[in-house]
């Protein structure tokens, strides 16, 4: 029996799986970050986060390249992704990728105090220590648009409100 054809056939007939954007975010403690510098050089990293409404907040140090890129207001991309050890198919890991506009939250402002408290609740007392360090700043990541994938043939456009807009069924995978 040719398992390759059977697998290809099942992938072509795959039906979209109901999107679970909120659940993926809730299972995540950190986001993968992608930024670019003034010269267009890419940088990837990660940061623990908290969410307030549709906005994500990260506390990051200027010792990291991505922090300067974010502080200068360049667009960023954030990704939430299923753990490799939990996935059934490495090529179809559940993931949410969002284009976001960063903005810095003023230190000791009402928003700063609220978000730092939320970060401490989510990630522990280390937040007290690093939030007092002068090189750490609080960044808000405001979603613009995104994409959610949770299997073969199961990809969706996502709005700035983190809601599914539509199934991405306009692109068909082609075989050789």
pLDDT by residue (tens digit) across 13-48?
455 666 799 999 999 999 999 999 999 999 999 999
**Residue 40: per-residue pLDDT:** 93
What does the alpha-carbon distance between residue 17 and residue 152 come to, in Å, rounded to a whole number? 9
Segments in the chain forming alpha helices (H): 3-12, 21-27, 65-71, 110-123, 126-131
Instruction: Determine contact, residues 16/167, Cβ cutoff 8 Å.
Output: yes
Q: Decide if pLDDT at 62 tops 50.
A: yes
List beta partners, residue 47.
Answer: 31
Q: Decide if pLDDT at 9 tops 70.
A: no
pLDDT, greater one: 95 or 3: 95
CA-wise closest residue to 56 among 128, 144, 127, 133: 144
């Amino acid at each position: 029996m040719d398992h390759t054809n059977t697998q290809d056939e099942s992938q072509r007939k795959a039906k979209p799986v109901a999107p679970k954007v909120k659940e993926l975010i809730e299972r995540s403690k950190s986001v993968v970050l992608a930024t670019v510098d003034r010269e267009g050089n890419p940088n990837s990293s990660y940061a623990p986060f908290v969410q307030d409404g549709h906005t994500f907040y990260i506390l990051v140090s200027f010792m990291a390249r991505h922090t300067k890129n974010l502080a200068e207001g360049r667009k960023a991309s954030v990704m939430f992704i299923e753990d490799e050890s939990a996935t059934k198919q490495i090529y179809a890991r559940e993931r949410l990728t969002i284009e976001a506009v960063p903005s810095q939250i003023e230190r000791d402002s009402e928003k700063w105090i609220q978000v730092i408290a939320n970060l401490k609740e989510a990630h522990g007392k280390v937040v007290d220590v690093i939030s007092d360090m002068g090189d750490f700043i609080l960044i808000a990541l405001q979603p613009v648009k995104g994409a959610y994938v949770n299997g073969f043939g199961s990809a969706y456009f996502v709005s700035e409100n983190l809601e599914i807009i539509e199934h991405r069924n306009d692109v068909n995978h082609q075989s050789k």
